[in-house]
Amino acid sequence: MKYNDIDFNNKYILITGAAGFIGSSLCFYFQKNYPNANIIALDSFRSGETFSNGNLKSFGHFKNLLGFSGTVISGNINDKELLKDLETSYNFDYIFHQAAISDTTVQEQDLMIQTNVNAYEDLLKIAIKHNANMIYASSAATYGDSNKFEIGYEQPNNAYGFSKVMMDNITYKYLRQGVDISIVGLKYFNVYGPREFFKNKTASMVVQFGHQILKGLTPKLFEGSDKILRDFIYIEDVIQANIKACNPKKSGVYNVGTGKARSFEDIVNILQKELNIDNGKEYIPNPFVVQYQFFTEANIESSRENLDYEPIYSIEEGIKAYLPEIKRLFEEEVK
């Protein structure tokens, strides 16, 4: 499905974080719909290196790009020589910047700011030189402890959320300076869908619960999980938002969610119904209760108005569309 009237054929498109969840989904969107697009897929593929919390430094996985026929570059966005080479070797029309340290539990604040904030500004300068529209991943983590999920009410409670606020601030600084390109930041809420599996423990609870159920295990939920609500958004709607952000009515930062919060209890109920497996549920105490976020729900009015964004998938429809991939992953990667 095409989400706007732009013809991306023969355009040069840089996608960073291209072996990750959203980046690889964008690669295949363009490959499928615009076979003559020139797609440059940049990723810092996983190497086994870990942060101090034990999690991988990169979730980029070659399997997310199986079948991709564009140009693949392995490199780190903190590498100034790499960025210089990209700047001189290509003339980009669009940059989709998805690369980031996205693990909210990472303690290396210095590397978080360097990777998420400073490298973003370096890429933005390339976009301006190339007259390329910039679309980048912000995050609902910017809202943190806020009780209002709309632009201007950010209250991050970790270094990751802070780094995304700083990216948004850079965006507004350049927009005030009157740059000729459009710049759109997209605050993703709880994204789930195909190609997230290799995010390991940071993959959505949709796929994690799905695999627990298929293993015959009883899904473990925090006590009171029927009242723990999140805005879960299917990957296809995230792709829609990215494509519509190529031609915004107004540059800026926008929420990408459904605007309808649902519970983790709902996810388990829908999965067990669709899989026709009832393993029951087990309730456990929430060890993170002090710093836990019990509610997120995107205000998407400005996204509707300025991006013409309208979510298509409810959680029921998203899970149903996702199930064949959850089953395939279970057979090929989990069992």
The pLDDT of residue 335: 87
**Annotation marks residue 188 as catalytic:** no
Residues 6+ apart with CB under 8 A from 22: 98, 137, 188, 191, 235, 238, 239, 242
The pLDDT of residue 294: 86
Pick the closest to residue 304 from 262, 258, 239, 266 (CA basis).
Answer: 258
- Amino acid 232 reads F
- Give the bridge partners for 253, in sequence order: 185
The pLDDT of residue 290: 65
Task: For residues 324 and 331, give the distance between their C-alpha atoms in angstroms, rounded to a whole number.
Answer: 11
Write the DSSP string, 100-167.
S---TT---HHHHHIIIIIHHHHHHHHHHHHT-EEEEEEEGGGTTT-S--STT-----SHHHHHHHHH
The pLDDT of residue 287: 84
Low-confidence ranges of the chain (pLDDT < 50): none
**Annotation marks residue 90 as catalytic:** no
Q: Which of 12, 120, 160, 192 is catalytic?
A: 160
Model confidence pLDDT, tens digit, residues 107-146: 999 999 999 999 999 999 999 999 999 999 999 999 998 9
Task: For residues 238 and 207, give the distance between their C-alpha atoms in angstroms, rounded to a whole number.
Answer: 17
Helix axis angle, 315-329 relative to 264-275, nearest 10°?
60
The pLDDT of residue 185: 98
Q: Which of 57, 164, 187, 199 is catalytic?
A: 199
Q: Which domains does the chain have, with CATH numbers?
A: 12-334 (3.40.50.720)
The pLDDT of residue 291: 65
